[in-house]
């Protein structure tokens, strides 16, 4: 019941569509331009760096706030990280599939940055650093998003092993690692079209901040 409750609470937070709100304020409909996505990447493509930063921070915070709150509330509970992950999944689903926008939202990259930071800055820092290194050197934001989320899954295993060794294969730790993989998998799934273009060598690149090139 706790998991379902936190999933629902997370979904409500995820419904705060920063990109949609910014697009309404600026008069630029993200859902009708670029990729039609309401996330930070499409905001960068269509509205430039400033608005994209607002979208990124807004979407990251809507994940960070409830996840960090859950971490504090359940900090003495052995299932604390499990509850955090279920909250993050709710936010991700609300962000990606908002019912009032016909279930067409973002891809969850900013949400991933928010929930990982709420969990562990030691995992967040290398993951987001790798994201920016790949994005800036290749211009492929989609590739950097996919790799960064895969790295989070790997680092989650390392984190659990280091912190809880030698008895790290406990039910809460296993469930948390599985949930981490599910969250990363959802982000990757939302990039399925990008993956096809990457494999075909047809994925567009950002040639500069705010220029009209996709990733």
Out of 34-38, 144-148, 189-193, least confident range: 34-38
**Distinct helix (H) and strand (E) counts, the chain:** 10, 0
CB 25 within 8 A of CB 49: no
**What is the crossing angle of helices 141-164 and 109-119, to 10°?**
20
Identify the pLDDT of residue 130. Answer: 96
pLDDT tens-digit readout, 158-173: 999 998 888 888 999 9
**What is the crossing angle of helices 40-47 and 18-26, to 10°?**
20
Whether 210 is covered by a domain: the verdict is no
Residue 215 has pLDDT above 60, yes or no: no
Residue 139 has pLDDT above 50, yes or no: yes
- The residue range of the domain holding 192 is 2-200
- Where residue 212 falls among pLDDT bands split at 50, 70, 90? very low
Handedness of CA 108, 17, 116, 70 (dihedral sign): negative
- Where residue 214 falls among pLDDT bands split at 50, 70, 90? very low
Whether 207 is covered by a domain: the verdict is no
120: nearest Cα among 82, 156, 88: 156
**CB crowding 3-29: b at 16 or more within 10 Å, else e:** beebbebbbebbbbbbbbebbeeeebe
Higher-pLDDT residue of 40 and 176 is: 176
DSSP 32: G
Whether 134 is covered by a domain: the verdict is yes
For 158, other C-beta atoms within 10 Å of its C-beta total 11
Whether 209 is covered by a domain: the verdict is no
Whether 69 is covered by a domain: the verdict is yes
pLDDT tens-digit readout, 100-115: 888 888 899 999 999 9
pLDDT tens-digit readout, 37-52: 777 878 877 877 888 8
- Where residue 185 falls among pLDDT bands split at 50, 70, 90? very high
How far apart, in whole angstroms, are the C-alpha atoms of residue 120 and residue 38? Answer: 27
Give the CA count within 13 Å in the CB-facing half-sphere of 214: 16
Whether 98 is covered by a domain: the verdict is yes
Whether 76 is covered by a domain: the verdict is yes
Q: Per the structure, how many domains does the chain have?
A: 1
């Amino acid at each position: 019941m706790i998991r379902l409750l936190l999933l629902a609470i997370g979904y409500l937070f995820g419904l705060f569509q920063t990109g949609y709100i910014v697009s309404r304020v600026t008069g630029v409909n993200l859902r009708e331009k670029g990729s039609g996505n309401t996330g930070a990447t499409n905001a960068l493509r269509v509205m430039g760096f400033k608005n994209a930063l607002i979208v990124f921070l807004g979407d990251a915070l809507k994940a960070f706030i409830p996840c960090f709150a859950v971490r504090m509330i359940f900090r003495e509970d052995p299932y604390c990280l499990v509850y955090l992950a279920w909250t993050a999944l709710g936010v991700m689903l609300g962000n990606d599939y908002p019912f009032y926008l016909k279930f067409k939202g973002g891809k969850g990259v900013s949400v991933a940055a928010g929930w990982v930071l709420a969990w562990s800055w030691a995992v967040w820092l290398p993951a987001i650093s790798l994201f920016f290194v790949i994005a800036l050197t290749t211009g492929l934001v989609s590739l950097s998003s996919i790799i960064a989320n895969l790295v989070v899954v790997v680092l989650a295993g390392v984190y659990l092993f280091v912190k809880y060794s030698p008895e790290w294969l406990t039910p809460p730790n296993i469930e948390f690692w599985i949930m981490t993989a599910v969250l990363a998998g959802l982000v990757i799934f939302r990039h399925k079209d990008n993956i096809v273009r990457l494999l075909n060598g047809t994925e567009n690149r950002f040639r500069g901040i705010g220029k009209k090139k996709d990733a």
